[in-house]
Each structure stands twice: as C-alpha cells, then as structure tokens.
Amino acid sequence: MSDIRPTTEFTRLTQPLPDLSAWVACFRDAEIPVMADTADALEAMREREDDVDANLIGEMIADDPLMTLKVMAYGAKNRSARVVTEPETVTSTLVMMGISPFFRAFGPQPVLDDMLADRPEALAGLNEVLRRARRSANFALSFAVHRLDPDAAIIHQAALLHDFAEMLLWCQAPDLALGIREAQRADPSLRSSAEQRRRLNVELLDLQHALMLEWRLPDLLVRITNDKHAKQPNVQCVMLGVRLARHTSAGWDNPAIPDDVSDVAHLLNLSAEATLSLLRGLDA
C-alpha cells in the first residue's frame, strides 16, 4: 500500500466571519480532512477495488464523521435526476454511485493529523469531539435497535454527524475553537450557544443546519439531526445519545446523568435500573 498522502494547503480562519451566510460559504468550499485510519484503509481498498463492495466501504467509513459527511454531500450534489428515492446512508449512497466512480471521486484523502500537526491542543480538542461523536452514535443506534426502529442506520449516522460544525471549526479555525473551549472551562456556567454567538457571530447548530440544506443532505437526516423536533422518537434516540456521550465523557458521576437515564428509560420502556445497566454495558 502506498503511504503517500496529498500535500494539501490548508487556510485557517483567525478572525470570526460576519454572519451565517459568510460561514456557510467558507465551510461549504473548504477541504475536509479525514481520520488517518480512514485515509489508509481507503488506499488499501483502492488497491483491491474488485474485491470490495458498498457494504465493506460503508463499514469502514461508519466511524469517521467527516468522511461520512464528505460522501453524503458528494452523493447528494451529484445525484442523477433519474434517482427517485434519495439515498439516506453512506452505504446506499455508495450503491447509487458505484464502486469505481467512488474511487475516482475520492482520491487520497487529506488527514486531520497533518492539518493540525502544528496545533496539538487543537488536534486534541478535535479528537475529543470525534470520540464523543462515535460514542453518541453507538448509544443512539442501541436505542433505535431496542425500539426496532426501521431507521436505525440513519439514526446512527445522524448522531455521528450531530456536531459536525464543531469538528469543522476545529479544522478550519482552531484558534477560535480553542478560545471557546477555554472560556467554557474557565466558566462552566457559560452557555455554548451564547459563547458561540459572541465569538463567532453565529451558533454552530444554525450553521450546521444551513450547511445540511446547502449540501442537500437527505430530508430525514436533516430532520432527525435537528433538536427542534425533539418529540419524535427517532430524534430522541439521537438527542439522548448525544447527551449521554457529553455527560459521560469524563465518567459516570456527572450530576446530569440520572435525568438522562430517566429519559432513556421512558424512551425504551425500561426501569431506571435496567436502563443504567444497559448503558454501562454499552460503554464497557
């Protein structure tokens, strides 16, 4: 397998942009790096293209939120007008694209570690968000499977992508992302949305929603990633997965966890004791 990676020039933002439309335009056209394991696995698969299929590639991509985002955005942008039903997952997008066209469209990928090699604090911050996203997706998928939800795969993907705007901020504007993190560490009572508005002139959830519309991501994915639809069970799977991943990121003694357990128990129709046992088992 070749170990040659693309030499991509990364341009960083050091000052906040004026408004939502400016942020959308910036992130819409920016190069998105991926995890090193994803980039390496992609090149290994490229060398045996005839032996891989959509499921195998989809499973490889499933733990990488940013590669997932790239594939979904590319697939939506390049979907044929003859396609009546839009693909809603990475695997279905790959089926629509075809294996050879996928490898032509996605050459050797830029890597997160290279992009932030000179900013280890920012790379660590981004890796925290990526780890949280994978845990969120694991929780959400388990809730969906327990409920026999037919959209379990989409729920997993929605939880994985729930904080992708924050990931892009770490990639494209590490100084701004670090500033927000340090402010919140200094004053844990700060609301994330208020601090984002103060430092970025935009809330990341608003930016994320606008980007999903800009990239024409699947309607169902957009809807269940939107916390405003919180009464819908599939959205609750995502929201509770995200909440649990945040609250348990440093262990299971966060004072917010009992409320999370109660809400999950209600969603899954389980006792609080059974729910906590389930959750601890998932995180083992």
* pLDDT digit string, tens, across residues 40-98: 999 999 999 999 999 999 999 999 999 999 999 998 888 766 665 678 899 999 999 99
242-259 confidence digits (pLDDT tens):
999 999 998 899 999 999
Judgement on whether residues 254 and 274 belong to the same structural domain of the protein = yes
Judgement on whether residues 48 and 169 belong to the same structural domain of the protein = no
Q: Which CB contacts under 8 angstroms, 24+ apart, belong to 19-23?
A: 19/201, 19/202, 20/202, 20/206, 20/207, 20/210, 23/200, 23/201, 23/202, 23/207
Judgement on whether residues 223 and 153 belong to the same structural domain of the protein = yes
Domain that holds residue 264: 119-282
Judgement on whether residues 164 and 271 belong to the same structural domain of the protein = yes
Q: 34: helix, coil or strand?
A: strand
Does 16 fall in a domain? no
Q: Which H/E stretch holds residue 104?
A: helix 99-105
Cβ proximity of 154 and 241 under 8 Å: no
Judgement on whether residues 82 and 148 belong to the same structural domain of the protein = no
Q: Which pLDDT value is given to residue 220? A: 83
Average model confidence (pLDDT) across the chain: 91
Q: Which pLDDT value is given to residue 1? A: 43
Query: Looking at the predicted structure, is the pLDDT value of residue 4 above 60?
Result: no
Closest CA to 266 of 135, 162, 143: 143
Q: 78, 109, 140 — which closes off a domain?
A: 109
Q: 82, 109, 136 — which closes off a domain?
A: 109
Confidence of residue 190 (pLDDT cuts 50, 70, 90): confident
Count Cβ atoms below 10 Å from residue 155 Cβ, excluding itself.
Answer: 30
Name which residue leads in pLDDT, 11 or 150.
150
What pTM, to 2 d.p., does this model score?
0.90
Q: Which pLDDT value is given to residue 250? A: 86
Q: Which pLDDT value is given to residue 40? A: 96
Could you give the residue ranges of the DSSP H alpha helices within 3-62? 20-29, 36-46, 54-61
Query: Looking at the predicted structure, is the pLDDT value of residue 6 above 60?
Result: no
Q: 52: helix, coil or strand?
A: coil
Domain count, the chain: 2
Query: Looking at the predicted structure, is the pLDDT value of residue 261 above 90?
Result: yes
